[in-house]
Amino acid sequence: MSVVRSISTALALLAATSLTGCATPRTAQPGTTILAGGTIYDGSSETPFVGDVVIAGDEIVYVGPGRDAPANARIIDASGMVVAPGFIDPHTHAQRFLDASDSEGRLNLPWLMQGVTTIFSGVDGSGTPEVGAFLDEVETRGFGTNVATYVGFGPVRRAVLGESGRAPDEGELREMKSLVAKGMCEGALGLSTGLYYVPQSFADTDEVIALAREAAIRGGIYDTHQRDEATYTIGVEQSVQEVLTIGREAGLPVHIAHIKVLGVDAHGTSGAIIEAINRARGAGQDVTADQYPWEASGTSLQAALLPPWSQDGGREALLERLEDPAQRGRIEAEMAENMRRRGGAHSLLLVAPGHEWTSMRLDAIAAKWNVDPIAAAIRIIQDGDRSGKLVSFNMAESDIVAFMRQPWVVTSSDGSEGHPRMYATFPQKYRQYVQQAAAVDLATFINSSTGRTADRFGLSDRGHLRPGYKADIVMFDPDRYRPVATYLRPRELSEGVLTLVVNGEVVIADGKPTGVAAGRALRHRPPPETCPA
Ligand SMILES: [Zn+2]
């Protein structure tokens, strides 16, 4: 691998060297493409410069001042354009596209059109332990972006304990550990958890630590949708402490997914969270986070409002509890409190398609049905709204900006159905937080969406524009790059990416997809002695 790379780099350097002051135009290597004269942000936080990026095969072979081009190179005029590493999105729910059997679905256009060239899947504890089979399929069937994945706590716990809320016995814990180990050995980046979600929420910290150790010994990371981002159960500050404890006890880097302080009672606590994380980092702990640039989160009505205990045993058990007057009364009271925390019925926008309430806020639905909002929510849940998509307006601008400015925070979309973040996160951050609010500058936006992310997750040949790195490159028009999707029309492709290159192949040309699916599976390689031969 490294030999192959050094040979091709050497050949490319020879070709590049021969460009200067050469009387007879030399024939370019097959597949040489030059992004010429763009404003280059190389993925670091350094200031940009004007120059060329030369690609040969799937690699970058030159980044620097413009040079004469060889005769048959493909030249893409980048003057006036921003040229940067392709964006890396470390938290996505791209299942619809990963599962798609049609070639267009598999292009993963919502992300491609934002300039994203790599996505992480299996987040929030959702990743299958069958990591090898999953990644093989990504490559065999073709996919628009590169894909890396986690082994997820959800499927691991479900496989052994079902939906049950109890703790595992020794044998069951051993079984769960072996599933995590299997996922790691097959190429997972680490263990992801979603301790907010049932049934993962039933696990205590020690259970998670035991499983995280399996990732730790194989060089993995712990990525978590933490137990509480608000004031639901232990509170967000305690929840961050739990993440730090897991990292220390299991001995691995920890990464907080979509960091936020959710709900009216938690607003303003970003300062305390940042301080706690900075203190841990100062003491030598490896802690980072990702963040999406939106004031509304996306979840399900069920996850947002129902208390976890009401879902112990799964949907059937929940429906039975709702039939029992005493238990229903308790559920309703806790739902009302959760709704208040989130900012009331008007802050909840229901977006699952195909219902009479689609694109309506919960207060309006309740008024239409002439019931109170809790009764309306229960009716929707009873009707089968298990994954019923909810956009929940619950974040304060000042907290969003405070997190965004931290050098340990990277951009993510958390892209999921029904929320514009799936189609528009990267241009949203650019428009809203670079151009309008000036919360971060352009180099920081790009660094936190490329190099910082690649370095954090060990993608050692991506995220920077450097010779020898894989040619994942975005070229966008700084005046036209913008989100189009909105909360009410979440499925609109973004605009302004004129050229996108994935593994050396042009997948967007003149602002339009070329139909090429050039993504690859990115596999973490654990130390060989930690895995079966
Ligand atoms: Zn999440």
**Alpha-carbon gap, residue 44 to 447, rounded angstroms:** 5
- Distance, CA 414 to ligand 1 centroid (Å)? 7
Q: Render pLDDT for 321-345 as a digit per residue (tens, 0 to 9).
A: 999 999 999 999 999 999 999 999 9
Q: What is the pLDDT of residue 528?
A: 96
Q: Give the residue ranges of the chain where pLDDT is below 50.
A: 1-26
Q: Check residue 199 and report its DSSP letter.
A: T
**Alpha-carbon gap, residue 253 to 244, rounded angstroms:** 9
- Distance, CA 464 to ligand 1 centroid (Å)? 27
Q: What is the pLDDT of residue 71?
A: 83
Q: Quick one: tokens of 305?
A: 């409002």
**Alpha-carbon gap, residue 484 to 29, rounded angstroms:** 39
- Distance, CA 137 to ligand 1 centroid (Å)? 24
- Distance, CA 465 to ligand 1 centroid (Å)? 30
Calculate the alpha carbon distances from 296 to 42, 202, 458 in Å.
31, 26, 30
- Distance, CA 198 to ligand 1 centroid (Å)? 13
Q: What is the pLDDT of residue 27?
A: 52
Q: Render pLDDT for 374-409 as a digit per residue (tens, 0 to 9).
A: 999 999 999 875 555 899 999 999 999 999 999 999
- Whether the CB-CB separation of 211 and 180 falls below 8 Å is answered with yes
- Distance, CA 350 to ligand 1 centroid (Å)? 18
- Distance, CA 415 to ligand 1 centroid (Å)? 10
Q: Quick one: tokens of 332?
A: 């309703």
The whole-model pTM stands at 0.91
- Distance, CA 224 to ligand 1 centroid (Å)? 8
- Distance, CA 260 to ligand 1 centroid (Å)? 11
**Alpha-carbon gap, residue 369 to 360, rounded angstroms:** 12
- Distance, CA 85 to ligand 1 centroid (Å)? 26
- Whether the CB-CB separation of 211 and 252 falls below 8 Å is answered with no
- Distance, CA 52 to ligand 1 centroid (Å)? 39
Q: What is the pLDDT of residue 17?
A: 33
- Distance, CA 370 to ligand 1 centroid (Å)? 33
- Distance, CA 124 to ligand 1 centroid (Å)? 5
- Distance, CA 327 to ligand 1 centroid (Å)? 28
**Alpha-carbon gap, residue 473 to 503, rounded angstroms:** 9
- Distance, CA 416 to ligand 1 centroid (Å)? 10
Calculate the alpha carbon distances from 292 to 297, 378, 429 in Å.
9, 29, 8
Using only the alpha carbons of the chain, give its radius of gyration: 24
- Distance, CA 394 to ligand 1 centroid (Å)? 15
- Distance, CA 67 to ligand 1 centroid (Å)? 46
How far is Cα of residue 509 from the mean position of the Cα atoms in its chain?
Answer: 25
How far is Cα of residue 440 from the mean position of the Cα atoms in its chain?
Answer: 20
- Distance, CA 98 to ligand 1 centroid (Å)? 18
- Distance, CA 194 to ligand 1 centroid (Å)? 7
Q: Quick one: tokens of 351?
A: 């977006």
- Distance, CA 181 to ligand 1 centroid (Å)? 23
Q: Quick one: tokens of 226?
A: 């933490």
Q: CB within 8 A of 75, min separation 6: which ones?
A: 33, 34, 36, 69
